[in-house]
Amino acid sequence: MNLFRVRSRKLAQSSSNMLHTSQYRLEEYRIEKDTLGELKVPANKLYGAQTMRSVMNFPIGTAFERMPKQVIVAMGILKKACALVNKEYGLDAKLADTIATACDDVISGKLYDDHFPLVIWQTGSGTQTNMNTNEVVSNRCIQILGGKLGSKTPVHPNDHVNKGQSSNDTFPTAMHISVAKELNEFTIPGMMKLRDALDGKAKEFASIIKIGRTHLMDAVPLTLGQEFSGYAQQMTFGIDRVKATLPRLYMLALGGTAVGTGLNTRKGFAEKAAAKIAELTGLPFVTAPNKFEALAAKDCMVEVSGALNVVACSVMKISNDLRFLASGPRCGLGEIILPANEPGSSIMPGKVNPTQCESLTMIAAQIMGNHVAITIGGANGHFELNVFKPVMVANALQSARLLGDGCRTFTEKCVSGIQANKERITKLMKESLMLVTALNPHIGYDKAALIAKTAHAEGGTLKDTALKLKIMTAEQFDQWVKPENMLGPK
């Protein structure tokens, strides 16, 4: 082993570079070669020269900028699938099985922290991450077989691990696998949990009549249950939208290789590889019907992000409504009571804030921002290849996980514990001037408006004002103005 001395910026400045330290230190290394020549690589790392060049060329950001773990797991899945299919086409069985075993270590995630240092701010095709995966799998195979790290013997990163593949079809495939898994495992279950909780509250509050509001102003009555049913329906539509994006996500670019023609693959490779990925993931992946579209465009990722963006709008509205309805507790609306999860102020004793609502609205804002970046990325495919893939998949995965986790937490820590403040609801409803709307069919709009305006100007009630103006009798008012009769069509 040789020794060399490294000094770099602090880890916080670029945690993607695994050589970075805040002090001088000695580091063991090995010499590896790629097509551009020799390079020093840390001796204890499974990656090689191609990964090292990316580490050197893109020392950007912090740990937050690393290629998401979900993408690396997806790369492991597709590399394993390809190895098993290549075995059918004649790849040495021992090598293929060893590659599959090494890929299991990638899929488990245990190699991620130490051996996948690259950031998303690299080539727009994700080429370096594909090479990083090839090198790690190759060297893990060499470890298993008792060889010398970096020797590329007996398992070569390009000739064996990458056989029948190109970065241009593997990375978009990993995008689809990782996002599809995220939506199925986290996003949709979280949304369904929130939808079910809101629907449960709609049923619980079905008999509680309250005043409605439009333009932030008093309107006619509805039930608190009807109000919550609207929120539940928003989530139902959102779930349907997200699920509708899955069929396109299940179509994989693998087999298109460099430009979509499938150069250097065997007939049937694309179909067999997609079927193997479906078997490994339990999701219905198939080969994309047109590989040129699958490589050159990422419209499906924009579609996924668009669906998540719609749901972000929904949860922004729902969480804002709930915190406004709970405002107070004495000087606001105060119609509902949110769970008191933690103290709300370091200076105001006893203050409790709607923190879960605030968390979910910030998540919604982040998803909306991510959608802008994904939209720009999707619009920037040039000729046969989209070159914004890393940032698109990183943002899509963040949106998917944030939405799923946010909905789940919001359900558990807020919605499930919401209570109706019946006394306050009844008081506000009785004070509302918009109950006058019930008089329209009986006395006409103009007379009803006169009653409301006069009552507001003089601080009186609708009933007392109507009697004062001699528009109706007390018996007529009591017969016509009944909130329970104002909840739907007659």
Question: Which residues are catalytically annotated?
Answer: 215, 345
- Cβ proximity of 409 and 359 under 8 Å: yes
| DSSP letters for 147-194 | --TTS--SS-IIIIITTT--HHHHHHHHHHHHHHHHIIIIIHHHHHHH
Q: How many CA atoms lie within 13 A of 410 on its CB side?
A: 32
d(CA 80, CA 106) in angstroms, rounded, equals: 10
SS3 state at 386: strand
Are β-strands 251-252 and 217-223 bridged in parallel, bridged antiparallel, or unpaired? unpaired
d(CA 348, CA 363) in angstroms, rounded, equals: 27
SS3 state at 234: helix
d(CA 61, CA 70) in angstroms, rounded, equals: 19
d(CA 276, CA 456) in angstroms, rounded, equals: 71
**What does DSSP assign to residue 67?**
P
**What does DSSP assign to residue 380?**
T
Are β-strands 251-252 and 286-287 bridged in parallel, bridged antiparallel, or unpaired? parallel
d(CA 201, CA 224) in angstroms, rounded, equals: 9
d(CA 255, CA 262) in angstroms, rounded, equals: 5
Category of 268 on φ-ψ map: left (φ > 0), alpha (ψ -120 to 50) or beta: left
Helices 167-182 and 389-413: angle between axes, nearest 10 degrees: 10
CB atoms within 10 A of CB 347: 5
SS3 state at 484: helix
**Two structure tokens written together for 44:** 């204890």
Please name the residue that has the structure tokens 């075995």.
Answer: 87
